[in-house]
């Protein structure tokens, strides 16, 4: 830490500092990656001043990262009860003002653009749209419907807001429903070489072992939360007891293991209709997550990922044919898919989501090869946003 940060830490450790200073310490800890310390500092801050909505919101996001969803939801509710508009805290200067239109949900359920965009080029204002507080909106040149599908009315609220605002925007809210799990097979139907396993939304009272094995998760859950491979009625009962919900998404399991015994999941991001490879995760387990896969341990895995990033059409032979059609079918300016390649060459799409995580925060020791490919996505997204903002400037000039 710097000398000033050391002094701030010493002042706050004994809880002697005021609420704003404790929140500042939280900001320091976040920059250092000390999330538990940061959460503690923000919570001291909100104890001292319950009306400090920015600290509540920061605590909510950190608690979600730390998988304390109850604490996250509590702080978020207290923040949004006070304010739903959060302007960028830094001076605008020459940055383009961008308004993120968000759901009442954690940042990782919304589109986490803060981890991708260059903050020296854009000022990020946040507006949590699905509420009733009437607040003054900061001036913005472009808006971004920055969330995936949900049944909470956010898409309709965002569409109404954008129509009233009369500003250029990225991602048409009316298209967001096309990526819903049960809608996706219809959305991507008819694209040669592409398959989506049908997913049903089943009320809890009607849940049964319709196929064996099958994937079951609480409806609309994200990131594998509550997802299980179920092969017996007893396992289904135990899973429902552990993850109670009003409804569940149920999907027949497709064995997608490659010939070498490993499972592969490709993440592909579409920006303005162009497909960009983002990562390849390889795992011995059917539930493939990049962070829990053994990519760090094996040079051959990272070499295969780098080859995919450099020339995706060599890995997915019909890349140039299917990707433009997937982009058109989804109809969103910024969206991603997770998919795998079946032995017969079919691209099996697991999900489409405009909220998929894209970032450049992997350690540089073994992941440096990824950075140019993340930068391509970042530059494409900036070009998209700047192009939309320029449309308004051109219209005003005429």
Nearest C-alpha neighbor of 84 from the set 21, 142, 154: 154
**Ramachandran quadrant class, 59 (left: phi over 0; alpha: psi -120 to 50; beta: rest):** alpha
Give percent above pLDDT 70 in the chain: 93
Q: Are 114 and 124 in contact (CB under 8 A)?
A: yes
CB atoms within 10 A of CB 176: 26
CATH code (residue 147): 3.40.50
pLDDT attached to residue 221: 77
Q: Are 117 and 91 in contact (CB under 8 A)?
A: no
CA separation for the pair 148, 334 (Å, rounded): 11
CATH code (residue 215): 3.30.1490
The reply to whether the predicted model has a pTM over 0.85 is: yes
**Could you tell me the pLDDT band of residue 391, with boundaries at 50, 70 and 90?**
low
Greater pLDDT, 198 or 369: 369
Q: Is 178 within the bounds of a domain? A: no
Phi and psi of 304, rounded to 5°?
-65, -40
Same-domain pairing of 209 and 307: no
Same-domain pairing of 350 and 311: yes
Q: Tens digit of pLDDT for each residue in 319-343?
A: 999 999 999 999 999 999 999 999 9
Q: Is 391 within the bounds of a domain? A: no
Which domain covers residue 131, as residue numbers? 87-172
CATH code (residue 330): 3.30.470
Same-domain pairing of 349 and 267: yes
Q: Tens digit of pLDDT for each residue in 22-81?
A: 999 998 998 888 999 999 999 999 999 999 999 999 999 899 888 898 999 999 999 999
Same-domain pairing of 99 and 54: no
Q: Is 246 within the bounds of a domain? A: yes
Q: Is 289 within the bounds of a domain? A: yes
Q: Tens digit of pLDDT for each residue in 168-178?
A: 999 999 999 99
18-42 as b/e: b if 16+ CB within 10 A: ebebbbbbbbbbbeeeebebbbbbb
pLDDT attached to residue 397: 46
Same-domain pairing of 245 and 272: no
Find out whether the peptide bond into 213 is cis, omega within 30 degrees of 0. yes
Q: How many domains does the chain have?
A: 4
Same-domain pairing of 275 and 296: yes
Q: Is 12 within the bounds of a domain? A: yes
Q: Is 327 within the bounds of a domain? A: yes
Mean pLDDT to the nearest integer, 129-152: 85
Side-chain half-sphere of 303: how many Cα atoms within 13 Å? 3
Asked which of 55, 80, 105 is the last residue of a domain, the reply is 80
Same-domain pairing of 317 and 287: yes
Q: Is 396 within the bounds of a domain? A: no
CATH code (residue 32): 1.25.40.10
Same-domain pairing of 274 and 352: yes
Asked which of 80, 97, 129 is the last residue of a domain, the reply is 80
CA separation for the pair 107, 102 (Å, rounded): 9
Same-domain pairing of 362 and 270: yes
Q: Tens digit of pLDDT for each residue in 199-253?
A: 999 999 888 887 779 999 888 777 777 898 989 889 999 999 999 999 899 999 9
Q: Report CA dihedral (387, 390, 391, 393) to the nearest 10 degrees.
A: 180
Asked which of 20, 46, 80 is the last residue of a domain, the reply is 80
**Ramachandran quadrant class, 273 (left: phi over 0; alpha: psi -120 to 50; beta: rest):** left
pLDDT attached to residue 398: 44
Q: Is 33 within the bounds of a domain? A: yes
CA separation for the pair 255, 263 (Å, rounded): 9
For every residue of 330-370, DSSP letters joined together read H--SEEEEEEEE-TTS-EEEEEEETT----S-S-HHHHGGG
Query: How far, in whole angstroms, is CA 125 from its chain's centroid?
Result: 17
Mean pLDDT to the nearest integer, 127-136: 80
pLDDT surpassing 70 at residue 2: no
**Ramachandran quadrant class, 152 (left: phi over 0; alpha: psi -120 to 50; beta: rest):** alpha
Phi and psi of 178, rounded to 5°?
-65, -15
Same-domain pairing of 52 and 141: no
Nearest C-alpha neighbor of 278 from the set 135, 392, 374: 374
């Amino acid at each position: 830490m710097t000398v000033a940060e050391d002094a701030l830490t010493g002042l706050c450790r004994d809880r002697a500092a005021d609420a704003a200073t404790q929140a500042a310490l939280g900001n320091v800890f976040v920059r250092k990656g000390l999330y538990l310390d940061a959460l503690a500092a923000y919570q001291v801050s909100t104890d001292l001043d319950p009306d400090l909505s920015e600290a509540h919101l920061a605590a909510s996001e950190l608690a979600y990262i730390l998988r304390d969803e109850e604490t996250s939801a509590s702080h978020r509710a207290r923040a949004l009860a006070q304010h739903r508009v959060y302007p960028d805290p830094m001076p605008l200067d020459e940055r383009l003002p961008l308004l993120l239109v968000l759901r009442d949900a954690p940042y990782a359920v919304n589109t986490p653009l803060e981890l991708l965009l260059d903050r020296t080029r854009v000022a990020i204002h946040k507006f949590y749209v699905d509420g009733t507080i009437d607040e003054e909106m900061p001036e913005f040149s472009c808006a971004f419907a920055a969330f995936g599908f949900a049944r909470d009315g956010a898409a309709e609220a965002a569409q109404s807001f954008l129509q009233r605002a009369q500003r250029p925007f990225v991602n048409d809210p009316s298209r967001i429903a096309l990526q819903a799990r049960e809608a996706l097979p219809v959305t991507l139907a008819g694209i040669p070489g592409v398959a989506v396993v049908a997913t049903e939304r089943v009320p809890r009272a009607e849940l049964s072992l319709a196929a064996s094995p099958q994937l079951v998760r609480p409806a609309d859950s994200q990131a594998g939360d509550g997802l299980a491979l179920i092969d017996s009625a007893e396992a289904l009962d135990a899973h429902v007891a552990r993850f109670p919900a009003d409804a569940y998404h149920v999907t027949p399991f497709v064995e997608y293991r490659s010939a070498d015994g490993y499972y592969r999941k490709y993440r592909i991001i579409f920006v303005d209709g162009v497909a960009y490879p983002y990562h390849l995760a390889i795992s011995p387990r059917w539930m493939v997550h990049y962070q829990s896969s053994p990519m760090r341990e094996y040079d051959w895995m990272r070499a295969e990922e780098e080859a995919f990033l450099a020339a995706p059409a060599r890995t997915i032979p019909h890349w140039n044919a299917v990707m433009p059609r997937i982009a058109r079918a989804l109809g969103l300016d910024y969206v991603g898919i997770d998919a795998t390649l079946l032995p017969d060459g079919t691209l099996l799409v697991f999900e489409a989501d405009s909220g998929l995580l894209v970032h450049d925060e992997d350690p540089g020791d073994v992941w440096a090869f990824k950075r140019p490919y993340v930068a391509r996505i970042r530059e494409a997204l900036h070009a998209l946003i700047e192009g939309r903002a320029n449309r308004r400037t051109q219209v005003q000039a005429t």
